Structure 1
Amino acid sequence: MSMNDYKVTIAVPVYGVESYVEKCAISLFEQTYSNLEILFINDCTPDKSVEIINKTLEKYPHRKAQVKIYNQPVNKGCPTARNLAVQIATGDFILFVDGDDYIEIDSISSLVTEQIASNADLVVAHCLIETNDSTYLLKYCDMNKTKEDIIKDCLDDKASQSVCGILIKKSIYINNNIKANESFHVGEDWQVAPLLLYHAKKIAYVDKVIYHYQLSRSNSITITSQESVTKKKNQLICFVKTMNCLLRSFKDKGQTYLDIIYRKKAILVQDAMIYCCKDRDEESFKILVLELKSIDQKYLSALGNTNPLVLRMKKNYYMLSVILYFNKLKKLI
């Protein structure tokens, strides 16, 4: 097939990104690749993001017929927006971009060129992380490894878990019913990325930066208030639920994958338990205790006492005991 025979859908969830979405939109409208569908999923954004998109589009009349803005009736979160994009996309391939990020203007051309050459189901490339005062390169994964090892790295935080900036054959989503759990407010990429890798018959790689991930917004995890403690606790609990989703998804895909997921779950459960103590959330703490007990001891004992994960778990147990002790004292006062 020739370059522009493939239609590529670029999907952008939009919520609270008015300070960044113009740069994002420009990077999409100026793509050197012509056969595009550009979907903006307005998740009931409270700001002027959609107004900015429409105003920017006026400068690119040749793109108007390719741009569609879908307005959600209520705010449903990024997982729902991405699931909707997959459902309504008319492209052969789909590429996700967050509304506060942007891509190089030749990104789609570079990815499609590699796809045609390799007949790959997924084409990945590099990402540049941009903060207020620095930038650094993030390689999606080590392409010298086997597909099985790349999946293991993705599950084990040793490779990128983002679905953004990847050229994905839409049929992988459809044929394997891959969807993010819409009840989760974080961790949607962690649910989806390993499954995309698993079901891809071939993964190709472009050795260049195509995606710019902006971290200029406040993303600090430093706990400075009770509100932020509660937020961090809820995020960790959501990640535990994500691990349960992955355990169900990978239950028949190999014990090696399950071992990694169980180990990750053990760490996340204990982290969440610590924040439940800080937040004095006894009910969630009790549920997490049951989650921890459900993890077979063999997954923990097999790690060995010198494994960094084991050392972290021991540290967490110490922190839990201290927090629980002081919480009991507070109740007595």
Structure 2
Amino acid sequence: MPKISVIIPVYKVEQFIERCAISLFEQTLDDIEYLFIDDCSPDNSVEIIKNVLMRYETRKDSVRIISMQKNCGQAAVRRYGNSIARGDYIIHCDGDDWVDINMYYKMYECAVNNKLDIVRCKFCRTDGKLMKECINIPSNIYCDAKKMISYLLRLSDLSSTCDKLVRRELYQSVDFIYPVDNMCEDFAIVTQLFCRTDKIGYIDEVLYFYYQNKFSISHILDNTHIDNKAQQISNNVKLIGKILKTKYPGGIFDKEIEVIKLMAKNAYRPIIRREGYYEKWKTLYKEINSKIFFNEYITIKEKLSFIACYIGIYPLLTGRK
């Protein structure tokens, strides 16, 4: 049984996958299962992975390259990877990112030595030149599942599955609800993980490097894509609400849910001046429009942007273009 399974979705990452694969195969942990899930990538990503693997003879038996029958999207790929993983722990890695050479050794040792279900590390964003450490929550929060969920949903914590080493049984529980929509699917997954355990540890060190790819799908601004994005975020917000209502009845996270509902509305913000999109923005989760200013978890900046949108002068008031 491998110590860790690393799941890597592969789709249009031929420019970056070599760097990613090298950082994975160079890991100092000795017993890792690598699951590269090819989501019908139309480029040479898979061939590049195979070429890199030829340099690492000791890793060949640990690598599986699996092809989806059709392009399914990240949510389905992650779910499939989790279902077939054999490691004691599971972690994800995106094909355009890379990891510190000691990342999985340090996380695994922390998990085993402290009998933890989840271990996290610091996370860094980079454009290839500049690096910026991502937000970190107070260390005393890790022993309180409710506070962890609150920080996550008010966008004061990272929802990524790539900085979280998770005991396999959590992901493979028969009642684990996997999202079907790709946008913000990690929010639904991580919320659910935090609902299931408070045995969470933290390594105060940057071990994961997230590459901000300017050509990624998140930068597409055509109308159809934005409509789909808003709908998918909205669907995952509803799923999060369902998960929380089951675990914590009584509406204790209502204000946090308002924050992620505003996030769904804001999918329309970049094109709000196009015909018909002001109304789409205004009517999506319209019940929170009157609550924005009374929510202490929504920043002043976001409240000002909301005003600008509501009175029809966004992005002029905020200086955005």
User: TM-score range with shorter-chain normalisation?
Assistant: 0.7 to 0.9
Query: Is 1:118 equivalent to 2:110 in the alignment?
Result: no
- Corresponding residue number in structure 2 for 1:25: 21
Q: Amino acid of the residue matched to residue 271 of structure 1?
A: N
- Select between 55-64 and 237-246 the one with higher mean Cα deviation: 237-246
Structure 2 residue 9 is matched with structure 1 residue 13:
yes
Instruction: Report the counterpart of residue 303 of structure 1 in structure 2.
Output: 295
1:250–1:258 CA contact under 8 A, matched in 2: no
- Whether 1:155 and 2:138 are equivalent positions in the alignment is no
From 47, 50, 57, the counterpart of 1:54: 50
- Residue 177 of structure 1 and its aligned partner are, at CA, apart by 3.1
Cα gap change, 1:99/1:109 in structure 2, threshold over 3 Å: closer, same or farther? Answer: same
Return closer, same or farther for 1:275/1:24 CA change in 2, 3 Å cut-off. Answer: closer
In structure 2, what is the Cα distance between the partners aligned to 1:321 and 1:62?
Answer: 56
Hey, which of these two has a bigger chunk of helix by percent?
1
Whether the 8 Å contact between 1:44 and 1:74 is mirrored in structure 2 is: yes
Go from structure 1 to structure 2 and tell me whether the alpha carbon gap of 1:151 and 1:275 turns closer, same or farther (over 3 Å shift). Answer: same
Report the Cα offset of residue 132 of structure 1: 3.8
| Contact map agreement 2:4 2:89 (CA 8 A) in 1 | yes
Give the 3 Å change call, closer, same or farther, for CA 31–263 of structure 1 in structure 2.
Answer: closer
Give the share of equivalent positions with the same residue, in percent: 26
Give, in whole Å, the separation in 2 of the partners of 1:268 and 1:317: 15
Q: Equivalences for 1:164-313 in 2 at 5 Å?
A: 164-175=162-173, 177-182=175-180, 184-218=181-215, 227-254=221-248, 255-265=251-261, 267-268=262-263, 270-272=265-267, 278-281=273-276, 289=283, 291-293=285-287, 302-303=294-295, 308=300, 310-313=303-306
- What secondary structure, in the 3-state scheme, does the structure 2 residue paired with 1:209 have? strand
How far did 1:300 drift?
5.1
Residue 87 of structure 2 corresponds to residue 91 of structure 1: yes
Equivalent pair of 2:39/2:68 in contact (CA under 8 Å):
yes
- Residues 110 and 272 (structure 1), Cα distance of their counterparts in 2 relative to 1, 3 Å cut: closer
TM-score, normalization by structure 2: 0.85
Deviations 1:201-246 (A, max 9, x none): 31001121211111144359778xxx53543343233222221111
Structure 1: gaps spanning 5 or more residues: 323-333
Number of residue pairs matched?
A: 310
Q: CA-atom RMSD, angstroms? A: 3.0
Q: Are the counterparts in 2 of residues 230 and 279 from structure 1 also a CA contact under 8 Å?
A: no
